[in-house]
Amino acid sequence: MLSYPACKINAVDEQLNVLQITDMHLTTPTTLEATTALREDQSQCQQHFDSSLKQALAEDIRCDLILVTGDLVSKVDPLTYDYIFDALKKTQIPFACIAGNHDVTDELGYDLPFDQRQLIARSMDSRLLNQHVIESEYWQLLLLDSSVSGKISGVLANADLDWLCQQLDNCDKPALLALHHHVLPMNSEWIDAHMVENAEEFWQRIDRYEQLRVIISGHTHQEQIRHKNGVTVYSTPSTCYQFLPNKDEFSYDEQASAGYRWLQLANNGNLASWVKRLDT
């Protein structure tokens, strides 16, 4: 029987295939505001999550692990998490989920401009993880919660940075770090105002760890690959709506489809990664 969360993964061919899905923004019908536009938008998010998961797992690649990197919901409701966790359990594939800002903060006033919405602090669902390790024979996957209740931007607490450094001190396997908020600017003023606030401190703390090979995040609703200090940094599209890259004001990308990311972690520490978009 599949247990949650995933803690140890054994890949049959010494290559770990990881599916990252992020920013699903699901909402149960009972929590929707009474506007037709919002109901249609949330229904589309639900359909895209279901379709993305189905499409990814139908591809000609074995999936060893599913990582969900935050913003599972648009409004915090236990019933929504129940639906998501049930859908993931039905895959019979090990999985793990971390929180995003929408998992600890409700936004009120979707009809208002982004910067005028009211932010309401919420408690995090107990199934969302922090300071969690998933080990394979050749890799360690480290999961951290960057969310802050009542805020859009993220922070990596001192205790979490201490834990991360301790894990890297104690294990020299190649490491992947998963969190929700981005740790490098996206060249987009509005979203970069809501990245990890102490990103500079984060990079200073991890600078000496050569085994940290890759960082994956969500939050930005767009695809990007960056490199810093020997680390490959991936931003991954949402399974729902996308944001327009390189824009200083909040903008949707109406042309970009929902997406997800594959990562192949080899037994020699090398990795390959690519984004797939939902077939339309």
pLDDT at site 38 = 45
User: Any idea which fold 16-277 has?
Assistant: Purple Acid Phosphatase; chain A, domain 2 (3.60.21)
pLDDT at site 128 = 98
Regions of the chain short of the pLDDT cut 70: 1, 29-42, 280
152's CB contacts (< 8 A; 6+ apart) are 101, 105, 119, 194
Return the domain boundaries, the chain: 16-277
**251-279 confidence digits (pLDDT tens):** 999 999 999 999 999 999 999 999 999 98
Q: Which of 264, 169, 247, 244 lies closest to 211 in space, CA to CA?
A: 169
Q: How far apart are CA 239 and CA 158, in angstroms?
A: 31
**68-118 confidence digits (pLDDT tens):** 999 999 999 999 999 999 999 999 999 999 999 999 999 988 777 777 789
